[in-house]
């Protein structure tokens, strides 16, 4: 399913939105052993969405009848938000700002999807509702924290889905399920109505199978929200893709694949493909990226995670996933010295980013260096999660935008992905280079 395909079918009366949702519900039932959705809207709850579309000109709504799924830390009016913690759950009266935008454009919410609890994790295994299984090989992790959102797209249970991304949650699951995942600049997509992870860093993201769908949805999502204190007016740069361009890659000694030789080979092939498209790859020092990434969980931003669930973790700590609790519980011990020392490090590295993105059109990295089986992550949950964040954790701290795109398959059929990174407000440029790379 794609947006253009469905709109065309609706116009030609090949199918109706009711038919599409009915087919999706069948697929959800067929995959009932995979805890993808935490809540699927009933026929009664869906009826107002169908009624609203009846008699409306299809061309008047860019997302007319397009089904989408919502990570369950993002509010949908009248439907419980759990953040994968049933004891934390509440039922919002209003939808998140971004959800309202999408519904206004004609989209139909299918339901709320599973996630690493409180959006803390890149694995998809930290949920009391069960670990989400990879859409290609169920022995492997789905990636997180936007696990259910990604799988719902991979298994054709929606055309696009909303995730969130603080440390890589909108990119890692894309790589593991052969999808495209866009993480726009901080504040470009409103986080009003989103359960915070790190409120100053959180981004709402989108997953699709087709790049054209990403572009359509992003154009609707990037609206300024006066009620969101971190919202920024989207002021896209004039930067576009070039016939001849220069892109940066980490120095060989800084690349990490954690023993995954096939991932290394696929990354090298991705670099060669960009070079065949007119690019020149230049190795750069990855240290500023890695140094910044390490601050996300060793620096003061853990305190934001603590603030977000303070009542829950202090009054009923037993309801918090053990690994999540281990990560967040120290957040109340972070002092101002830690904050300012970390802030100085970021300011120093942000200056380096200015230089890099003035000199190079974009930075190309693996989305992750490897992928793990669910049982491997369960045996060593924190270190393996840290490995997965090597190429993702720095992104919001350094105020960059990124898009994760598919980049081939390993011999065992599992996908690999690369991420195109650019400066804030350069979404148009990375979408252009993604189009070059994907040949669309």
- Catalytic annotation, residues: 71, 145, 169
Q: Per the structure block, which two tokens stand in for 354?
A: 């200015």
C-alpha pair distances (Å), 194 with each of 9, 39, 100, 191: 33, 17, 13, 5
Burial (CB count within 10 angstroms: exposed 0-12, middle 13-18, buried 19+), residue 340: exposed
């055309």: which residue's tokens?
A: 159
CB 116 within 8 A of CB 126: yes
């Amino acid at each position: 399913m794609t947006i253009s395909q469905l709109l065309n079918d609706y116009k030609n009366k090949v199918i109706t939105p009711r038919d599409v949702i009915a087919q999706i519900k069948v697929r959800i039932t067929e995959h009932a052993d995979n805890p993808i959705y935490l809540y699927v809207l009933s026929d009664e709850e869906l009826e107002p969405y169908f009624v609203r579309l009846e008699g409306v000109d299809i061309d008047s709504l860019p997302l007319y009848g397009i089904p989408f799924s919502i990570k369950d830390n993002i509010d949908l009016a009248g439907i419980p938000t759990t953040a994968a913690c049933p004891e934390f759950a509440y039922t919002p009266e209003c939808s998140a700002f971004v959800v309202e935008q999408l519904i206004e454009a004609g989209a139909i919410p299918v339901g709320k999807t599973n996630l690493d609890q409180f959006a803390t994790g890149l694995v998809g295994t930290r949920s009391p509702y069960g670990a989400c299984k990879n859409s290609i090989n169920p022995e492997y992790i789905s990636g997180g924290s936007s696990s259910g959102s990604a799988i719902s797209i991979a298994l054709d249970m929606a055309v696009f889905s909303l995730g969130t991304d603080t440390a890589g949650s909108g990119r890692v699951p894309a790589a593991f399920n052969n999808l495209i995942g866009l993480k726009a600049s901080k504040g470009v997509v409103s986080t009003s109505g989103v359960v915070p992870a790190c409120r100053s860093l959180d981004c709402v993201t989108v997953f699709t199978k087709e790049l054209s769908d990403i572009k359509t949805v992003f154009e609707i999502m990037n609206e300024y929200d006066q009620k969101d204190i971190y919202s920024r007016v989207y002021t896209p740069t004039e930067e576009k893709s070039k016939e001849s361009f220069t892109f940066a890659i980490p120095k060989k000694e800084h690349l990490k694949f954690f023993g995954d030789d096939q991932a290394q080979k696929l990354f090298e092939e991705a670099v060669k493909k960009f070079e065949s498209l007119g690019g020149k790859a230049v190795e750069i020092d990855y240290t500023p990226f890695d140094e910044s990434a390490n601050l996300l969980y060793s620096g003061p931003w853990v305190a934001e995670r603590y603030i977000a669930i303070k009542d829950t973790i202090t009054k009923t700590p037993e309801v918090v996933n053990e690994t999540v609790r281990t990560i967040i519980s120290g957040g109340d011990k972070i002092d101002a010295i830690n904050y300012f020392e970390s802030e100085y490090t970021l300011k120093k590295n942000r200056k380096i980013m200015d230089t890099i993105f003035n000199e190079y059109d974009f930075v190309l990295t693996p989305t992750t260096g490897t992928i793990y089986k669910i049982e491997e992550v369960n045996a060593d949950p924190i270190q393996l999660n840290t490995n997965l964040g090597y190429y993702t954790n720095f992104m919001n701290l350094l105020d960059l935008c990124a898009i994760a795109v598919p980049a081939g398959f390993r011999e065992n059929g599992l996908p690999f992905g690369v991420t195109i990174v650019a400066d804030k407000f350069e979404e148009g440029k990375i979408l252009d280079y993604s189009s070059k790379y994907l040949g669309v």
